C-alpha cells in the first residue's frame, strides 16, 4: 500500500505566522514556489499562504504587506492528512475539497505536502488527470 509519506514533498519550509507578507513573498520567490505552509510559534500548522492570497486578500484590498502578517491570512478550515494515510485518501481529500496542496501531518507536526506534481510523478496518468480535473473545477 502506498501512503502519503511515500509520495509527499518532505520537510516543507514554513512562513511564520508573525512574519509579514513582504517576508513571505521573498521566501516564495527564493524557493520558487507558489505556496507555503503557515506555522505558528508552537510549530503547529496554521494554514497555507499562496502568492494569490497576498495579491487578492491584501494588495487588492488596499492592505500593507509590510504590516500584514501571514497569520492574518490563515483563514478557514485547514484540510490535512496523516503521513500513513493511504494515497487514495489523499486523492479523495484533494478532490472533495478542491485543494492543490495537501499538508501531511504526523501527530501535530507538519512533515510534508502532497501536491499535484507529487501525484503526477507517483500515480497512473488516469488517476492524476482525473484528480487534477476535479480539483480545478
Please say if the pLDDT value at position 91 is more than 80: yes
5: nearest Cα among 85, 122, 89, 83: 83
Please say if the pLDDT value at position 113 is more than 90: yes
Q: What pLDDT score was predicted for residue 76?
A: 78
- DSSP symbols for the chain: --BHHHHSEES---EETTSBHHHHHHHHHHHT-SEEEEE-TTS-EEEEEEHHHIIIIIGGGT--TTT-BGGGG--SPPP-EETTSBHHHHHHHHHHHT-SEEEEEETTEEEEEEEHHHHHHHS-HHHHHHHHHHHT-
- 49-72 confidence digits (pLDDT tens): 999 999 999 999 999 999 999 999
Q: How far apart are CA 106 and CA 87, in angstroms?
A: 15
In this prediction, residues 35-45 reach a mean pLDDT of 90
Architecture of domain 4-135: Roll (3.10)
Q: What count of other Cβ atoms lies within 10 Å of the Cβ of residue 8?
A: 23
C-alpha grid cell, residue 123: 500515480
- 12-39 confidence digits (pLDDT tens): 999 999 999 999 999 999 999 999 999 9
**Single pTM value for the model:** 0.85
C-alpha grid cell, residue 83: 503521513
Question: Average per-residue pLDDT in the chain?
Answer: 90
Q: What pLDDT score was predicted for residue 131?
A: 64
Amino acid at each position: 500500500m502506498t501512503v502519503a509519506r511515500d509520495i509527499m514533498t518532505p520537510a516543507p519550509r514554513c512562513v511564520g505566522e508573525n512574519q509579514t507578507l513582504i517576508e513571505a513573498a521573498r521566501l516564495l520567490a527564493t524557493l520558487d514556489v507558489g505556496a507555503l505552509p503557515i506555522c505558528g510559534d508552537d510549530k503547529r500548522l496554521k494554514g497555507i499562504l499562496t502568492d494569490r492570497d497576498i495579491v487578492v486578500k491584501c494588495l487588492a484590498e488596499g492592505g500593507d504587506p509590510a504590516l500584514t502578517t501571514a497569520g492574518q491570512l490563515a483563514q478557514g478550515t485547514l484540510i490535512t492528512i496523516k503521513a500513513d494515510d493511504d494515497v487514495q485518501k489523499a486523492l479523495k481529500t484533494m478532490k472533495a475539497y478542491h485543494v492543490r496542496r495537501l499538508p501531511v501531518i504526523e501527530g501535530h507536526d507538519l512533515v510534508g505536502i502532497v501536491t499535484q506534481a507529487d501525484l503526477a510523478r507517483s500515480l497512473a496518468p488516469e488517476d492524476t488527470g482525473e484528480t487534477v480535473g476535479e480539483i480545478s473545477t
